[in-house]
Copies of this chain bind each other. A is one copy, B any other.
C-alpha cells in the first residue's frame, strides 16, 4: 500500500522531506544547458535533455535523504511532448533510486474523463486487453471542485494498483482563500472538502494507521493546518509552500500528528536552485548545494518536531 511504503521510507531515511522537481529552464546552470543548445538549437528537445540531466544530478544527491520527489507536470508540459518525455524519464530514474513519485498533476474532471486521467497517471490504459502504463507515479494530486464522482475513479486505481492520491484541500498560494475559505453554514469550504477526504480515507488505512487518500495542505497556512489535522486524523498531508513560498519548520509542525507522522513537506525552488545562493561554490556543484539544502530542511523539521514532542524516529 502506497502509504505504508511512504512511511517506511520516511522512518528509514529519517526524513519527511519531499523534493519538488520543478524545472525552470532559466534557473538551470548554463553548464548544463549549453551543450544541448549547441547540439539541438533552442528547441524543446534541448530543454528536455537539459532538464533530465539536471534532475538526475539532483536525484543522485538526494535519493538517500528523502523518501519522495514531486515533479510538477506543468513545468514539463510547457515543453510539449519532449518535456513530457523528460517527465517520464525523470520518474523512472527516481524510482530506480528507491524514491517514491508524487506526480503533482492536479487533475480532476467528470466521471468518465477522470477515469482516463487516473489511467494515465496511477492506473493503466487498456489497449485490447493489454494494460499499459502511460506516466509513472506512486501517487498524484487531485482537484476536488467537481465532487466525488471525479474522485472515485482515482480511488478505484488507488485500490487496484496500491497507489495514493492527495486531494487539494487548502493550497499554499495567496488567493487560495477566495474560494477555499468561504463559509458555508458553520464550516469553511476547505473544511467541508476535508470531511469528504476523511470519509473516503477510512477504507484505505494501512498498518501505521494512515490512509493512501491524503490531502494537500499548504505550509503557508499553519492555523488552518492545525484544524485540518483534527478533521482528517488518518490522512497524510502533502505540505507545499516550504522555503521559497515562505513556510518554515514551525509553520509545518501543525500538519504532523503526535506520533511525528502524518505529513511530508515539499520544497522545490529552495532546494533545486540552492547553488544560486552559494557564492563560494562552483556552479558545477549545484547537486551538492541541493543536498546541503535538503539536509538543512530535514534537520530543521526534525528538530522542530522533537521540540514539540513529535519524534517519529
| Beta-carbon contact of A127 and B189 below 8 Å | no
Q: A78-B117, A116-B74 are in contact. Are A134 and B185 (CB under 8 A)?
A: no
Listed stretches A146-154, A205-213, A255-263; interface member:
A146-154
- When distances are taken between beta carbons in the complex, the residues of chain B under 8 Å from A280 are none
Within 8 Å of chain B (Cβ to Cβ): is A221?
no
| Beta-carbon contact of B46 and A127 below 8 Å | yes
Complex alpha-carbon distance, A63 and B88, angstroms: 35
- When distances are taken between beta carbons in the complex, the residues of chain B under 8 Å from A127 are 25, 42-44, 46-47, 79
Within 8 Å of chain B (Cβ to Cβ): is A300?
no
A49 to chain B, nearest CB (A): 12
Within 8 Å of chain B (Cβ to Cβ): is A90?
no
| Beta-carbon contact of A189 and B179 below 8 Å | yes
| Beta-carbon contact of B145 and A144 below 8 Å | yes
| Beta-carbon contact of A120 and B78 below 8 Å | yes
Complex alpha-carbon distance, A180 and B179, angstroms: 10
What is the interface size of chain A, counting residues whose CB is below 8 A from a CB of the partner?
Answer: 71
Q: A125-B79, A145-B145 are in contact. Are A184 and B189 (CB under 8 A)?
A: yes
| Beta-carbon contact of B79 and A110 below 8 Å | no
| Beta-carbon contact of B113 and A75 below 8 Å | yes
10 contacts between A and B (CB under 8 A): A44-B134, A46-B127, A78-B117, A79-B125, A145-B179, A147-B178, A148-B178, A149-B175, A150-B175, A179-B189
Beyond known contacts A44-B127, A81-B88: 16 more, CB 8 A cutoff: A25-B126, A42-B128, A74-B116, A78-B125, A79-B125, A79-B127, A81-B81, A81-B85, A110-B173, A147-B176, A148-B175, A149-B175, A179-B192, A182-B189, A183-B185, A184-B184
A residues neighboring B (CB under 8 Å): 22, 25-26, 37, 42-44, 46-47, 72, 74-75, 77-81, 83-85, 88, 106-111, 113-114, 116-117, 119-121, 125-130, 132, 134-135, 143-150, 168, 171-180, 182-185, 189, 192-193, 196, 240
